[in-house]
Amino acid sequence: FNCTTEDGVMRGDLTMRGSGDPTFGSDELRRADPLQDWAEQLAAQGVERIEGRLIGDARQFDGVAYPEGWDIGYVTRQASRYIGTASSALSYSDNVMSVQIRAREPGQPPELRAYPNDAITLRNEATTSSRWRGNALQLDRSFESNTIRLHGSVARSYIGTVNVPVTEPADFAMRSLVLALEDEGITTDLARVNADTLRTVPDRGTLLFVSLSPPLADIVALINKKSNNFYAEQVLRTIGWGGSVEGGAQRIEQLLRRAGVTRYPAVHDGSGLSRRNLVAPITFTNLLRYMDSHPEADAFRASLAESGERNTTMEYRLSRYPVRAKTGSLRYVRALSGYAERPNGSRVAFSMMANNYEGSSWRVRRTMDEIVKTLTESTVL
């Protein structure tokens, strides 16, 4: 901060500088909320009021929030922590905000409460039905105006919370800090400013607080076991030159070159949601073989979900079979890649992909699982 403090009042510039940590304020890893912690510390130090500018600095990334090739529905028709979330070097709470919904009398619109209440515009066009159970609630997001339209109906007994991705993550982080300060009794008169709109950004001044991410192994484990797309997008940009998808793709190509891969994939995002991504199964099997003898092999294998592991994408697949794997799915796309233990104690890497298939996704998944079962039972390979 570049401030003076006198009689409990801080005056000047406060800067929040992000570096891409996806866990900042996230409850995915059950960590304490850093903004709440900072507000509590300032209150304990006797700060009663803050005046000046609050600058959100997300310049560590290139500012492109959404990758190429995403379905527009991911952004406008999803309400999820994992799909349709903008990337930013200054991200907070998975870049989603909570909207609490409570039914009223039949025929009336449900009650809505957003947190923070000024981060988005809510258009409540929903109604409370006379049904005791069953909801037909939909949320649409206007991409340009950051307006959420709630329509459809909720049962008259409904009480719940939906998570809505925000369009401006840095501004959302700044609003959330102001709210945390006010919750601790610190009044504020702060003008929120994005650093990329300033000709010059104040120098680093005096460092107040630092939030460190968990080890990368913990973040990657959450990505692989739960298919957390937001975390994947953040990590790709963090490792990439210039904080960009393109820079991250170049780093991936370097790794694949060391792994002996000669057919490089087309990488357009970190999560795999982009329809422009192209990769061959042999690329994944070569990478898996390389990682099996890598110095971080144990951490990498541990990041893959075990068959039947609870609260992962493998929870209901291949139970009791010695398999660690990563799933992948889009509409008319299914994939499964990982390691299978064979009866002789050796380990085999596998990768299967199905695109534009006919028939049910359930049959595709079952076929893949049967192939993996054969790998764990056969001694012929």
Nearest-5° Cα angle at 127, 123 to 131: 150
What angle (nearest 5°) sits at the alpha carbon of residue 252, between those of residues 247 and 253?
95
What local confidence, expressed as pLDDT, does residue 147 receive? Answer: 81
- State which amino acid sits at residue 6: E
Q: What is the pLDDT of residue 5?
A: 82
The token pair that represents 140 in the structure block: 């649409």
Q: Are 29 and 23 in contact (CB under 8 A)?
A: yes
Residue bearing tokens 């952004």 = 75
For strands 111-115 and 96-102, give the pairing.
Answer: antiparallel
Q: For helices 245-258 and 281-292, what crossing angle results, to 10°?
A: 70
Report the SS3 class of residue 262: coil
62 close to 23: Cβ distance less than 8 angstroms:
no
- C-alpha 75/C-alpha 142 separation (Å) is 9
CA 10 – CA 24 distance, rounded (Å): 25
Q: pLDDT value at position 73? A: 79
Per-residue pLDDT at 167? 85
Rg of the chain over Cα atoms, rounded to whole angstroms, equals 24
Residue 365 pLDDT = 96
Q: Is 359 left (phi over 0), alpha (psi -120 to 50) or beta?
A: left
Neighbours of 195 (CB within 10 A): 19
User: What's the pTM value of the predicted model, to 2 decimals?
Assistant: 0.92
pLDDT of residue 211: 95
The H-or-E segment that residue 283 falls in is: helix 281-292
Residue 144 is predicted with a pLDDT of 65
Give, for 163, the enclosing helix (H) or strand (E): strand 159-165
Angle formed by the axes of helices 169-183 and 34-44, nearest 10°: 40
| 193 and 54 Cβ atoms separated by less than 8 Å | yes
Q: Are 252 and 267 in contact (CB under 8 A)?
A: yes
Region of 360 on the Ramachandran plot (φ > 0 left; ψ -120 to 50 alpha; else beta): beta
CA 228, 257, 304: angle at the middle one, nearest 5? 30
For residue 12, give every residue at least 6 positions away whose Cβ sits within 8 Å of its Cβ, in sequence order, or none.
Answer: 1, 2, 3, 4, 52, 53
Q: How far apart are CA 167 and CA 96, in angstroms?
A: 9
Calculate the alpha carbon distances from 14 to 86, 90, 194, 195, 346 in Å: 24, 14, 12, 11, 56
Q: DSSP letter for 264, please.
A: -
- 110 upstream amide cis, omega within 30 of 0: no
3-state secondary structure of 101: strand
**Distance in angstroms (rounded) separating the CA atoms of residues 298 and 307:** 17
What string of pLDDT tens digits covers the 381 residues of the chain?
A: 777 788 899 999 999 999 999 999 998 887 889 999 999 999 999 999 999 999 999 999 999 999 999 988 787 765 455 677 899 999 999 998 888 899 999 999 999 888 776 777 888 999 999 988 887 888 887 766 678 888 999 999 999 888 888 888 999 999 999 999 999 999 999 999 999 888 887 776 788 999 999 999 999 999 999 999 999 999 999 999 999 999 999 999 999 999 999 888 999 999 999 999 999 999 999 999 999 999 999 999 999 999 999 999 999 999 999 999 999 999 999 999 999 999 988 999 999 999 999 889 999 999 999 999 999 987 665
How many residues are recorded in the chain?
A: 381
- What pLDDT does residue 381 have? 57
